[in-house]
C-alpha cells in the first residue's frame, strides 16, 4: 500500500489503497501513525510500502527527496503566507519518526525546473499541487491546465508531461479565504494596521464581496488564470479541483466555452499516493518534470 498525505489549508488529507480520510489541521496536532491503519484493508501499518508527504510551501528543496534528508522540514522559513496550526508539523514529524520509507514533495519556486519566465515570482505552487497535477494527467493526458479552487486558487500548466509553471495563491485569482494584496491592503500594511500575512488571510472573496457575488467572482478569475496559461498550450484541456470546483464549474464553462473536468478535494492525496507508488515501486527518476533524488530509501 502506498499513501499520499496532502497538507491542505484547512485539513490534512490521507489516501491509499482506494480509500481516504481527512483530519482538520487543528485536530491533526494529535495525529498518530496508527491513524493510517484505517486506510489498510487489514487495519494495520504493516503493508505500507511508501509514503509521499507534503508540508507547507516546500520551498527549500526542488527534488522529491527522502524525508530523512530534509532540513527545516523543507522550508526556507515558517514565516510567510498562511496560517500556522501545528497539525501539519505533527504529521510530518510522526511520519519521519516512524521509519516507514517516505519522500517529501517540493513546492514550485525559483529553484524548480519550470519555465524561467515564471520565476519573476519567488513561488508558484505549494507541494500538494504536484499531487493534483499528477492525478489530473491520469485523466486528461500530458497536456493540461490544473486549477485548484478552495480557500485559495492556484493554477498550473502541464505540457508534454512536465510542469511548465503556475500562479500561486498570492499572485492572481482569489480563493474563498486568501488572495493577492490590493492597494487598500498595501496601504494598511504600510500604515502598520495589519501584517502582510493577515492581509493575505483576509483577501479572499469571503471577506471582500457579498455572498451572492463570491462564486461568480471566483469563476471569473479562475477562468482568467486558465485562459492565460492556455496561451502557452492552446487547446489544452482544463481540470478544476478542490472543494469549490463544483460550485464554479458552470461559470468557468460559460467563460471558457468548454466544459472542464471536475475532480474533488481528494485529488491531491490520491495523486500523492500514486507518486509514492511510482517512486518506491516503479523507481522512476522524475515525476512530471520534478526530479527524484537518487535512492529515496537511503539516508
| Residue 93 in this model has a pLDDT that exceeds 70 | yes
Question: For the chain, how far is it from start to end, CA to CA, in angstroms?
Answer: 22
d(CA 103, CA 91): 13
Closest CA to 93 of 70, 77, 65: 70
| pLDDT (tens digit per residue) in 133-185 | 999 999 999 999 999 999 999 999 999 999 999 999 989 999 999 999 999 99
Cβ atoms within 10 Å of 254's Cβ, excluding its own? 13
Q: Beta partners for 123? A: 109
pLDDT at residue number 9: 80
Say if strands 261-262 and 238-241 run parallel, antiparallel, or are unpaired.
parallel
d(CA 210, CA 98): 47
Q: Beta partners for 162? A: 159
- E strands, the chain, are 2-7, 11-16, 19-24, 50-53, 65-66, 102-104, 108-109, 123-125, 144-149, 153-159, 162-167, 238-241, 261-262, 286-287, 290-291
Percent of residues, the chain, with pLDDT higher than 90: 86
Amino acid at each position: 500500500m502506498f499513501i499520499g498525505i496532502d497538507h491542505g489549508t484547512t485539513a490534512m488529507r490521507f489516501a491509499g489503497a482506494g480509500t481516504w480520510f481527512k483530519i482538520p489541521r487543528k485536530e491533526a496536532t494529535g495525529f498518530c501513525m496508527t491513524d493510517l491503519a484505517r486506510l489498510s484493508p487489514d487495519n494495520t501499518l504493516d503493508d505500507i510500502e511508501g509514503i509521499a508527504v507534503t508540508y507547507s510551501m516546500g520551498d527549500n528543496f526542488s527534488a522529491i527527496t527522502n524525508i530523512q534528508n530534509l532540513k527545516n522540514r523543507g522550508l526556507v522559513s515558517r514565516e510567510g503566507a498562511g496560517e500556522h496550526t501545528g497539525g501539519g508539523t505533527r504529521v510530518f514529524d510522526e511520519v519521519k519518526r516512524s521509519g516507514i520509507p517516505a519522500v517529501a514533495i517540493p513546492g514550485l519556486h525559483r529553484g524548480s525546473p519550470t519555465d524561467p519566465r515564471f520565476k519573476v515570482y519567488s513561488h508558484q505552487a505549494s507541494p500538494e499541487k504536484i499531487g493534483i497535477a499528477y492525478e489530473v494527467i491520469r485523466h486528461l493526458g500530458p497536456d493540461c491546465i490544473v486549477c485548484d479552487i478552495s480557500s485559495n486558487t492556484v493554477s498550473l500548466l502541464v505540457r508534454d508531461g512536465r510542469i511548465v509553471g503556475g500562479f500561486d495563491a498570492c499572485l492572481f485569482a482569489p480563493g474563498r479565504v486568501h488572495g493577492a494584496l490590493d492597494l487598500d491592503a498595501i496601504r494598511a500594511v504600510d500604515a502598520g494596521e495589519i501584517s502582510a500575512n493577515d492581509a493575505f488571510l483576509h483577501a479572499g472573496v469571503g471577506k471582500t464581496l457579498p455572498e451572492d457575488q463570491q462564486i461568480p467572482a471566483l469563476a471569473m478569475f479562475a477562468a482568467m488564470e486558465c485562459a492565460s496559461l492556455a496561451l502557452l498550450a492552446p487547446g489544452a484541456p482544463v481540470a478544476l479541483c478542490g472543494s469549490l470546483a463544483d460550485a464554479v464549474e458552470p461559470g468557468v464553462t460559460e467563460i471558457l466555452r468548454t466544459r472542464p473536468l471536475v475532480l474533488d478535494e481528494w485529488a491531491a492525496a490520491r495523486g500523492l499516493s500514486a507518486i509514492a507508488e511510482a517512486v518506491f515501486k516503479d523507481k522512476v527518476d522524475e515525476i512530471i518534470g520534478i526530479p527524484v533524488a537518487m535512492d529515496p530509501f537511503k539516508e
